[in-house]
Amino acid sequence: MTEWMKGNEVQKRASAGNSANDAARRLPGDAAARQPRRGDYDAMEISERHRHRYEVNTGYRERLEQHGMRFSAMSPDGLLPEMVEYENHPWFIGVQFHPELKSRPFAPHPLFASFVEAAVVQSRLV
């Protein structure tokens, strides 16, 4: 990635340093404002670790929301979706962060715990 948005400004990277290791990434512990629908998080602001190259094209936001997609967490500047949920699904959450980096065997990340809980509920319906 050689170009990205930071606030309302376009940031550019010189092509000379554009290696796989220089991929666009937000620093560990970046915050995201959350509008909880499920019981995954108690706080209205979360801090998660990021290591990715992809972003959601917010030009499709309105259309996705019309079909049940909910943008439930945004970056602190409000420009980048961090978490999406699908309203009419037993458990559908897409995230831009790595929950496995904050998960431990006896202290699972809230997303993993809620996924297992939803799977148990769903298995009883079959």
Mean pLDDT for back-to-back runs of 10 residues, the chain (126 residues): 67 54 46 53 67 78 93 84 86 86 87 89 85
DSSP characters over 27-86: PTTEEEEE--SSTT-SSSEEEE----S----GGGHHHHHHTTEEEEEE-TTS-SEEEEEE
Confidence (pLDDT) at 42: 58
Q: What single letter denotes the amino acid at residue 31?
A: A
pTM: 0.63
Confidence (pLDDT) at 20: 45
